[in-house]
Amino acid sequence: MHAVARFAFLTALIAPVIAALPVSAQDVAAGERAWNKCRACHQIGEGAKNIVGPQMNGLFGRTAGTVEGYSYSAANKNSGITWDEAVFAEYIKDPRAKIPGTKMVFAGIKNEKEIGDLTAFLKQFGKDGKKL
């Protein structure tokens, strides 16, 4: 059998097996564990308040520096950021690199899976703190 034909034949055999394998999905329970790194400064859920950092309800789609009643740094207020998954992932790896001058003191989360899990956890909460 010619090499190209052999490759096509093997690909046709293997493709359904690969397609059936589980995809590494975001894990909300693991995201809640990752949230433990955030909870010293932030709250989320019904009744969440601003503490050292702003409450995190309805984060995705929100403009940075706009939670009512929280005193943001000028850097954060003027960042022009609207939070989405990609921006959050970049930010949470190294907040001070993404927004120089932010008052958020956090070493960051570097693990992509952990960031995805944390994102899934955060996305559960609407602006009112209720789970969607």
Question: In this model, does residue 25 exceed pLDDT 90?
Answer: no
Counted domains in the chain: 1
Q: Tens of pLDDT along 57-94? A: 999 999 999 999 999 999 999 999 999 999 999 999 99
Give me the CATH number covering residue 91. 1.10.760.10
* Domain with 66 in it: 23-122
**Alpha helix stretches (DSSP H) within the chain:** 3-20, 28-35, 74-77, 85-93, 95-98, 112-122
Q: How far apart are CA 126 and CA 22, in angstroms?
A: 29
Interhelix angle 112-122/85-93, rounded to 10 degrees, is 130
Residue 9 lies in a domain: no
Residue 23, CA distances (Å) to 15, 20, 26, 34, 101 in order = 14, 9, 9, 20, 38
Determine, yes or no, domain membership for 30. yes
Q: Is residue 44 part of a domain?
A: yes
- What is the pLDDT confidence band of residue 43, given thresholds at 50, 70 and 90? very high
